[in-house]
Amino acid sequence: MDATYALAARTSAVNPSGAEQVAFLLLFPGFFFYQTLIGMGVMRAFLGGYFAIVSIVLAGPLAYAYLRAVKAARYRIAPTDVQFGFFLAYFLVIVVINAAFGADTIIVQTHVLSILYFINIYLIFKNVDFSNRKTAMLMLVSLLIMSATIFVFSTDGSFQPGELGDPTNPESVATYQGFARSYVLTFVAVICFVRLLVARLALYCMAVAALFLNGSRSELVAVLFVLPLVELYRAKNWLHVLCILVLGVALFSISPQTLMENAPDSRVWELFDLSHSDSANARHDLTRHALSTIANHPLLGDYASYPPGGYSHNILSAWVDLGFFGFAYLLLMLALTTFRLFVRGWLGRTRSGQCLLAWNLICMSLFLLMTAKTFDDMLAGAAMGAYANYCNRTRQAQVPDKRKGNGP
């Protein structure tokens, strides 16, 4: 493993938490494999859509592990916990108040689950030590198996498990976005701790190809967006950067027509002509509706003023549902986290895979919030959790006595 997956030699001062590690594997690789099996008709959907049920089951162990950590830190709460916790508390208050006044039940249920997902993914990324060799191996194996599954079961350049077999419960089969979420989070958790350039390049090619076959346009573009950031962070000299840029130009010079002939059904081709994309046109209309709602309700927004699924696919959805304060707080929280990471991680002398993980997640989250995802997209929770993890490990590396820490 050392030859192909060169991890940081120093073991983190914070011991990896088994509960959070298991939770990650169940929620992301586990979701991917479960959905593939029910989509192919190998088994019935005995856990429904899986993610909600498993998240509810995992909430107890994750909360218990967090409370134990808080108690061990003499009830000191980390600043990031307070910042993100305040946003979740505000979000919950808005949901409860509007539910009491008759807001759409489906939207209310969706947002309650979103809060739960936020809590779980924050705690997972805050506590899992992705640089730990055992954890890294589990993540890498999961990523390789997911990639192999996509490559083997893709037809006409598209990975759609629900069309390969005869699923017993087709309503429970996830969309391409669910598969992409599991794949991207696992990929980012792996790639940020790989120091060997050749191994990173191989993983880049594998991930881009897998996401292309999956048809997840937003996630594919988000991954392409952060790959240069990984190399800039890892670069030891400008020759390294120049070689990567040359390779990138060579890859992008490949004629789309050549690829289109081999993958005619891929949704990714719509990116080259959004005017003919039904999805892009629909999202444009939803954004216009959100702007109209904001213009009519600039301060408080208008919670659930759209039919289920009719939300704006960008950060304006926060203004519509949470009002200007919720929108501004979320944007400011993410922006300040990005700034702190840049100052501490890019301008500082010490660089780490944990910092790179937090940086990539925050950049992906902001990119997707501006272009394709709603405010309750889980990447924001993962980014804040990874940042809290980075701060905690940096602090404990500087202060050997854990009793001097500022929180778990």
Give the per-residue pLDDT at 261.
52
Residue ranges of the chain whose pLDDT lies below 50: 1-16, 401-405
Query: CA-CA distance, 170 to 39, in Å (whole number)?
Result: 7
Closest CA to 107 of 376, 407, 400: 376
Can you state the angle between helices 379-398 and 316-341, rounded to 10 degrees?
Answer: 20
Would you state the structure tokens that stand for residue 386, as one six-digit string?
């990874």
Closest CA to 21 of 135, 122, 131: 135
Q: Are 105 and 308 in contact (CB under 8 A)?
A: no
Query: CA-CA distance, 242 to 247, in Å (whole number)?
Result: 9
Give the per-residue pLDDT at 249.
66
Query: CA-CA distance, 408 to 399, in Å (whole number)?
Result: 14
Query: By three-state DSSP, how is residue 158 classified?
Result: strand
pLDDT digits 0-9 by tens, 84-143: 999 999 999 999 999 999 999 999 999 999 999 999 999 999 999 999 999 999 999 999
Give the per-residue pLDDT at 2.
44
Give the per-residue pLDDT at 85.
97
Query: CA-CA distance, 355 to 129, in Å (whole number)?
Result: 12
Other residues' Cβ atoms within 10 Å of the Cβ of residue 386: 32
CA distances from 343 to 182, 238, 284, 300, 368 (A): 30, 21, 36, 34, 23
Q: Which residue has the tokens 């060169």?
A: 6
Q: For 28, how many CA atoms within 13 A lie in the half-sphere containing its CB?
A: 30
Give the per-residue pLDDT at 197.
86
CA distances from 282 to 33, 220, 370, 402 (A): 31, 20, 16, 52
Give the per-residue pLDDT at 403.
45
Contacts of 24 (CB under 8 A, 6+ apart): 124, 128, 189
Cα-Cα-Cα-Cα dihedral sign, residues 184, 222, 264, 312: positive
Contacts of 200 (CB under 8 A, 6+ apart): 191, 194, 230, 231, 234
Can you state the angle between helices 79-100 and 316-341, rounded to 10 degrees?
Answer: 180
Query: CA-CA distance, 366 to 334, in Å (whole number)?
Result: 8
